[in-house]
Amino acid sequence: MTAHSYGIVWNPSKIDEDTLRAAVADHLGDDVRWWATSEEDPGRGMAEDAVADGCATVIAVGGDGTVRAVAEALAGTDAALGIVPQGTGNLLARNLEVPLDDIPAALRRIAQGDERRIDLGWVRHGDEDERAFAVMVGFGVDAQMLVETDDDLKSRAGWLAYVEAMGRALAGTEMTEVSVTIDEDEPQEVRGHTMLIGNCGMVQGGLRLLPDAKLDDGRLDLLLVSSEGALQWIDTVRSVVWENGIRRLLTGGESAVSTDSTHFHTAERVRVELARPQQFEIDGEEVGEVSVFEVRVQAGALRVL
């Protein structure tokens, strides 16, 4: 078997092939193998082929779904992950400070070879196989909806603009009983409508939903939201955007601040049982309703350039 420097796993729906090939030739040379994703396989099988083919670095070119699938295949292998973000969220890329909307800059970053080892999360629900996640999983109001703010309003009203956005996003949410088991602790019975469990915490707009989350601390971070009524929603927005966002950056606070409506935890393993099935997402991908799910962290699972 002949080893290769780079394997490219790219999503044809996200980028023009000629544009990508020209940029790769300019910045990575010609020791490159290519695999296009498909509707049936967003990248895992292609990344596995790249590893089997001896590629030292496998580069995911696409959105969060492509990155997640490639990362899943590379977990625990010697191959390194490179990212050329081409989606709308690009959440792992944002948390790693990979250049966005700049293919040459992202490729130059990969070619420099600066390596960082990061954790990966794994989730199992129902009878499904365990799946990896690089960013976050959860139910209720997802990270994208939390930052659907009106740009003009945000420029005029600052963080208070999130109240308007969150009100729109949360109109259809309902409270449910939740049993949460953190690591080896006894189950806790709580009520909420949104839970996020993440490996990293920053989403679009620079908002940190999980302010304590670190990609390399061997832990996952959990946010449970249980807001009811306008006053609690304002409290939630203030907690997420101000107390654990802007104010923390200004004052250098060290840990997330829980409130009556927002509760933060950290864990290596989490088991969640829901009284009513809820729509569930893995790195932004809807996977249907779940009643029970289990999450764990694989510390240091990925080498990332």
- Give me the residue label for tokens 């010697």: 78
Cα torsion through 246, 251, 255, 259, rounded to 10? -60
DSSP secondary structure, the chain, as one string? ---EEEEEEE-TTTS-HHHHHHHHHHHH-S-EEEEE--SS-SSHHHHHHHHHTTEEEEEEEESHHHHHHHHHHHTTSSPEEEEEE-SS--HHHHHTTPPSS-HHHHHHHHHHT--EEEEEEEEEETTSPPEEESSEEEESS-HHHHT---HHHHHHHGGGHHHHHHHHHTTT---EEEEEEETTSPPEEEEESEEEEES--B-GGG-BSSTT--TTSS-EEEEEE---HHHHHHHHHIIIIIIIIIHHHHHT--SPPP-SSEEEEEESEEEEEEEEEEEEEETTEEEEEEEEEEEEEEEEEEEE-
Residues 289 and 161 in one domain: yes
pLDDT-based confidence at residue 159 (cuts at 50, 70, 90): very low
| 245 and 184 within one domain | yes
Same domain, 107 and 133: no
Between 172 and 218, residue with greater pLDDT: 218
Q: How far apart are CA 60 and CA 67, in angstroms?
A: 5
- 72 contacts 9 by C-beta, under 8 angstroms: no
Is the pLDDT confidence value at 261 over 80?
A: no
What share of the chain has pLDDT > 90, as a percent? 60
Domain co-membership, 92 together with 42: yes
Q: With 90 as the cut, is the pLDDT of residue 4 above it?
A: no
- Indicate which CATH number applies to the domain containing 257: 2.60.200.40
Residue 279: CB atoms within 10 Å = 13
Percent of the chain with pLDDT over 70: 76
CATH number at residue 93: 3.40.50.10330
For the ranges 78-82, 161-165, 212-216, the lowest mean pLDDT is seen at 161-165
Domain termination site, one of 114, 138, 158: 114
Whole-structure pTM value: 0.84
Q: Is the domain of 147 the same as that of 257? A: yes
The number of C-alpha atoms within 13 Å of 109 and in the hemisphere containing its C-beta is: 21
Final residue belonging to a domain, choices 92, 114, 136:
114
Q: Residues 126, 65: one domain? A: no
pLDDT of residue 235: 61
Same domain flag for 165 and 190:
yes
* Same domain flag for 107 and 129: no
Q: What does the pLDDT read at residue 285?
A: 84
Q: Is there a single domain that holds both residue 178 and residue 109?
A: no
* Claim to verify: residue 227 and residue 88 sit in the same structural domain: no
The backbone torsions φ and ψ at residue 57, rounded to the nearest 5 degrees and listed phi first, read -130, 130
| 100 & 226 share domain | no
- Statement to judge: residues 8 and 70 lie in one domain: yes
Tell me: pLDDT of 231 over 70: no
Which domain range does residue 83 map to? 4-114
pLDDT digits (tens, 9 = 90+) for 63-100: 999 999 999 999 999 999 999 999 878 889 999 999 99
Q: Are the CB atoms for 192 and 180 separated by under 8 Å?
A: no
Q: How many independent structural domains does the chain possess?
A: 2
The answer, yes or no, to whether residue 33 has pLDDT greater than 50, is: yes
Phi, psi of 118 (to 5 degrees): -125, 165
